[in-house]
Structure 1
């Protein structure tokens, strides 16, 4: 029996078709997109269709709502952070290491200079052996 996740690439395990929020779109639109797509994070893409960062639902709450900022006036690009990504042909092991190193729970996957998907904890849960998944979760949440 083959070991789950072995010899697989980021493209093999990612959730395909990540939708971007534009860097000039406001946070109300970002929140509505997250709600409609059932996701907790969106990649932020620039006018050049290139990845600029990621925005999470937590970012909107902590860095906008809690600070008394206006969701209509605050642009997604203002909260862009975490320009951490992997190439589509990166091994799952290397992607996992990058997520642990940067303490991120979601990782954009890039192919031909465009975002083609995202790797999340749920994607990893489907692919990794339980022991490897437990180790990853411990490392990500240990510093949180």
Structure 2
């Protein structure tokens, strides 16, 4: 399959749900469970993307430290966010995901979150060779 002329909008999952930066990690974990996902975008009170949080972040930075999931806010664990514009070529998404070794990438349109791109989304669009190269780059030791 060719990715020529395809944009990130054409391969993303629409309607990504955010966890609010002031919501607690128990709510984040429940949201991940209910949505069957391992990460969530974090949105601020201004409805802007503030970061990402993973299930691993919750376990390592809260549970393992003996912190109360009900008292830790999602915004406290927010990692820097890498995102791609909705109208960017799919190759830009591939490049960003490989460069930052991330498996999910928020898609933004006019500074608002409109979707997410995952490895599964890309697998449907890439040739076997290009997919193998992408997977190798994302999972390569840092």
Name the TM-score class by shorter chain: over 0.9
Aligned length: 142
TM-score (norm 2): 0.96
Residues in 1 aligned to 2:36 and 2:126: alpha-carbon distance in whole angstroms? 23
Matches within 5 A, 1:1-144: 3-143=1-141
Segments of 5+ residues of structure 2 without an aligned counterpart are none
Residues in 1 aligned to 2:16 and 2:39: alpha-carbon distance in whole angstroms? 10
Q: The residue matched to 1:101 in structure 2 has which SS? A: helix
Residues in 2 aligned to 1:104 and 1:91: alpha-carbon distance in whole angstroms? 18
TM-score (norm 1): 0.95
Q: The residue matched to 2:115 in structure 1 has which SS? A: strand
Q: Deviations over 1:53-74 (max 9, x none)?
A: 0001111111111111110010
